[in-house]
Amino acid sequence: MRAASLARYFPAEGFRLHVLTARNASAVGSDPSLLKEIPPEVTVHRTLTLDLPFNVKKRLKKLIARDTHTNTKPTGSTEFRRPSFLKRIMQDLLQPDPQVTWLPILSRAARRIVRSGGIDVVLITVPPFSSLLLVEKLRREFPDLAIVTDFRDEWILTSFELVSFSFSSSERTRKFAETIEAGAVKNSTAVVTVTDAARRVISGRYPREPESKFLLVPNGFDATRLQRPSPTRDPRLGGKIIVTYVGTVYASTEPTELVQAMQTLPLDVKARFKLRFVGHIEESRFREMLLQLGEMIELKGFLPQAEALTAMNETDYVLLINHDPLNVGGKFYDYVGGGKPILGAVHPKGETRRLLEDLKAGWWAGNRDVAGIRQLFIDAAARASSLDKEFQPDLHKIAQYERKILAQRYAALLRSVATSTLVSEGASRTLGTQLAEIEE
């Protein structure tokens, strides 16, 4: 959605835009209707990738999991899963992720477009992190080309220490990832992150690089797609309080503590809630966990964005789960843009919690605090009848996260890169300050 929003708004900023993407990219789902928002003057180049279709990868993952056995660490009782023989072969071949199979075609197509299109700036957005390998390839052939790497997620710390949801979390893969990232950062003209915490972490790994190289452009929401709820709401059938989660359920958003908290609610409070999950559930164990809530839970599966946003609007609260202290899920911005109060089970020291409080976008409890999440829902039930008075988000700050505004800020950044103003640390620091204003 970040890349699509830039493609939507950049032409109005005077950019002649080429987009290089895969024709047969593997994904949880697709929503072709969003292509209608891309201006016709944007040139889209589609190439083949050798990455397997998503459903095939899911079946293969189940096959591998069946062949994976458990050993015990010699120094304690904590168990870990040792990759099966088949999985180790795949991890060795597909470093650092399965999308690396696109790299040979991607590299040839990118070089051709740079040469024939008179490209001033190349913007490479990741994940997939294997696309970072393109940075060095382009730098070797085009020494003076402006290259910007756009980290939608922090990679090393998040994938190998904090959450560990990468394709492979082995030490070999980690070292390979560190080498790839270091090469990409060194050969990039600028490095952009979506949270200030991620910017600090990535820049901290490369003290020899100027601080001015690392900049911030957060994610946001499209006001044109969102419909703010009216102040007065019709009473729910049966008096149910609807809480809706929109997005993928995976390692960084897994619902263990949420389920435990909901199971311990007083019976009268528990009977008032209906939890709706809209989106793909990555692992069967997460689905089974949610189904333990019985009649409280409703699993909608993947929906096109328009339908997902409609479901989000037809709710009392929106649910946010985030175990990641550095990265902020894209759904957070749709939530705040849609004007619905958030119930968050989030990392107490994370960027999500900080933003949630700063924007006055809802209420939160610690992501691993079962008692705190339980109380969060008890309080939510108590205020349900007076939400219109109690929920007072900071609309001025929230408005600064509209994607059109962020695209204008990003355009200013790319224009400065193209005109070589980033070589001046003072000018670069000023630009970085301007881009960070909405985060302060």
In 3D space, the residue among 361, 216, 83, 99 whose CA is nearest the CA of residue 346 turns out to be 361
Each of the 440 residues of the chain gets a pLDDT tens digit; together they read: 899 999 999 999 999 999 999 988 877 677 888 899 999 999 999 998 887 666 665 665 555 455 444 433 443 333 445 555 555 555 566 678 888 989 999 999 999 999 999 999 999 999 999 999 999 999 999 999 999 999 999 999 988 887 655 555 678 888 999 999 999 999 999 999 999 999 999 999 999 999 999 999 999 999 876 655 554 455 455 679 999 999 999 888 999 999 999 999 999 999 999 999 999 998 899 999 999 999 999 999 988 888 888 888 889 999 999 999 999 988 899 999 999 999 999 999 999 999 999 999 999 999 999 999 999 999 999 999 899 899 999 999 999 999 999 999 999 999 999 987 444 444 343 344 444 444 44
Strand (E) or helix (H) holding 426: helix 425-436
- The dihedral sign for the CA sequence 214, 216, 219, 224: negative
pLDDT given at position 146? 96
Longest Cα–Cα distance in the chain: 67
pLDDT given at position 313? 81
| Rounded distance between C-alpha atoms, residue 19 and residue 41, angstroms | 11
CATH topology for the 2-220+404-439 domain = Rossmann fold (3.40.50)
Q: CATH code for 237-399?
A: 3.40.50.2000
* Other residues' Cβ atoms within 10 Å of the Cβ of residue 317: 27
Q: Where in the chain is the domain with CATH 3.40.50.2000?
A: 2-220+404-439, 237-399
Angle CA(201)–CA(205)–CA(208) in degrees, nearest 5? Answer: 130
Q: Residue 54: exposed, middle, or buried by beta-carbon count in 10 A (0-12, 13-18, 19+)?
A: middle
pLDDT given at position 71? 39
Residue type, 113: I
Angle CA(287)–CA(173)–CA(166) in degrees, nearest 5? Answer: 20
Token pair in block for residue 433: 């300050």
In 3D space, the residue among 422, 405, 404 whose CA is nearest the CA of residue 413 turns out to be 422
Token pair in block for residue 35: 């292509």
Per the DSSP assignment, residues forming a β-bridge with 243 are 275, 317
**Centroid of chain to Cα 1:** 9
Q: Is residue 104 reached through a cis peptide bond, with omega within 30 degrees of 0 on the bond before it? A: no
Task: Provide the strand spans (E) within 33-145.
Answer: 43-47, 69-72, 79-82, 121-126
Report whether 368 contacts 257 (CB < 8 A). Answer: yes
Token pair in block for residue 160: 């190998």
Token pair in block for residue 185: 């950062």
In 3D space, the residue among 308, 354, 304 whose CA is nearest the CA of residue 328 turns out to be 354
Token pair in block for residue 159: 């994938």
Token pair in block for residue 413: 């950044």
pLDDT given at position 66? 53
